[in-house]
Amino acid sequence: MRKKIPVAEPALCGNEKQYVLDCLDTTWISSAGKYLSRFEEEFASFCNAKHAMSCCNGTVAVHLALLALGVGPGDEVIVPTLTFVATANAVTYCGARPIFIDSEPETWNMDVNQVEALITPRTKGVIAVHLYGHPVDMDPLLATARKHGLFVVEDAAEAHGGLYKNRRVGSLADIAVFSFYGNKIVTCGEGGMVVTDDPELARKVRLFKGQGMDPARRYWFPTIGYNYRMTNIEAAIGLAQLEKVDWLLARKREIAEQYAQCLRDVSGVSLQPEKEWARNVYWMNSALLDPSVRSSRDEVMRRLDEAGIETRPFFYPMHTLPMYRESVAGRVLPVAGDVAMRGMNLPSSVLLTAGDVEYVCDNLARAMRADDDRP
């Protein structure tokens, strides 16, 4: 019987075990130690940024970035509706209100041309999510933000190493955030990072993540902070992952090319594209079923599961969730809704073999035409 093919699986094939054992042998297992500083320094360099501050997960990375930018009650932050819920929730943690924007149909990222129409006197900034590994078209977004005095946060949780006009994500806006969850390109199991060139924003992030304690005066707390620190063990894993990031990114691209080749003659399915100004890192091999496919997306996923292939649906648009439905005030966000209902993420681990990809594609084609084969 063929083994089940997971939608994601980390590649712990470098120095991860050696570094973790070093943490255990030296007893540096908490939120201090040499791996934390090394991981932060190396990740800042990877992003071509001046400062990188580790934290315990990607969600709190967004929260820390917004706190450092001064987001608070009564503020509004423009957020793509097609994203993971953490992006919107972090805005709400600050007492602010996420204002949801629709997707554009090609990359499924936020439609930057709609931003200006959503700006009000309460608007503080914009969060640009590089969805499933493809960068947002940042230049027009940044131009609109600068015109209106707004900040821009890059949510690059899904796009480690992505390029926008030959510039690496994480270095494109006022501040950027990353996740190192177990399915990410670089993983710590859990973990996050906030990246910026602004020394004052970096100072505030460090203050807020460490309970608000004054770094020059132990146990003196000039502000309310949070316990959002990463552990040395997590940083050890992250550093080992970062040491082989070029290989990880190359494998992601190889697998995406294999999917494109295997599905080139399969009608009714399309993969996330790559715009000429971007380099998609294909965090997930994301596919859309054409409306002409008789089977629903969920039915196709069920058939793949029967064949031992794990998949994931696209995220629900934020404005369809119970706690955020009223936030759109009757506005219709049709592109995100359509993409979300037709999209699925195929197995995307760097450990996939060519045979695995071929098996997934063969079964996807079979699952899509199953209804057509019935009398």
Residue in this structure with the two tokens 């100004």, named with its chain if needed: 277
- The yes-or-no answer on residue 184 being catalytic is yes
Helix, coil or strand: residue 86 = helix
In the block, residue with structure tokens 């270095």: 171
Token representation of residue 162: 């992505």
* pLDDT value of position 375: 43
Instruction: Kindly tell me the sign of the dihedral angle through the C-alpha atoms of 272, 84, 346, 364.
Output: negative
| Cα 282 from Cα 159, distance rounded (Å) | 8
Q: Does the predicted model carry a pTM greater than 0.85? A: yes
43 close to 34: Cβ distance less than 8 angstroms: no
DSSP state of 114: G
Place of tokens 């969730």: 321
Confidence of residue 232 (pLDDT cuts 50, 70, 90): very high
CATH number given to 246-373: 3.90.1150.10
Kindly state the tokens that stand for 365: 């084609």
Query: How does DSSP classify residue 373?
Result: G
Q: What is the pLDDT of residues 97-126, one digit of tens each?
A: 999 999 999 999 999 999 999 999 999 999
- The CATH class, in words, for 16-101+109-243 is alpha beta
Q: Which of 34, 124, 184, 204 is an active site residue?
A: 184
Task: Give the burial class of 92: count Cβ atoms within 10 A of its Cβ; 0-12 exposed, 13-18 middle, 19 or more buried.
Answer: middle
Q: Is the pLDDT of residue 372 over 60?
A: no
Q: Tell me the β-bridge partners of 97.
A: 76
Report, as an integer, the average pLDDT of 321-341: 91
**Residue 262 pLDDT more than 70?**
yes
The conformation of residue 182, written as its DSSP 8-state character, comes to T
* 308 alpha-carbon distance from chain centroid: 26
Please list, in sequence order, all residues whose beta carbon lies within 8 angstroms of the beta carbon of residue 289, skipping any fewer than 6 positions away: 268, 269, 295, 297, 300, 342, 343, 344, 368
Residue spans of the domains in the chain: they are 16-101+109-243, 246-373
246-373 and 16-101+109-243 share a CATH fold: no
The widest CA-to-CA distance across the chain, in whole angstroms, is 77
Report how far residue 285's alpha carbon sits from residue 234's, in angstroms, rounded to the nearest whole number.
Answer: 26
Please compute the mean of the pLDDT values over residues 238-260 and round it to a whole number: 98
Q: Could you give the 3-state DSSP secondary structure of residue 73?
A: coil
Contacts for 223 with CB less than 8 Å, ≥ 6 apart = 207, 208, 212
pLDDT at 226 over 70: yes
Residue 219 DSSP one-character state: T
Does pLDDT of 327 surpass 90?
no
CA 13 – CA 10 distance, rounded (Å): 9
Q: How many helices (H) and strands (E) does the chain have?
A: 12, 14
Instruction: Copy the structure tokens of residue 141.
Output: 């977004």
Other beta carbons within 10 Å of 3: 7
pLDDT-derived band at 271 (thresholds 50, 70, 90) equals very high
Q: What is the pLDDT of residues 41-94, one digit of tens each?
A: 999 999 999 999 999 999 999 999 999 999 999 999 999 999 999 999 999 999
The two structure tokens encoding residue 279: 């380099």
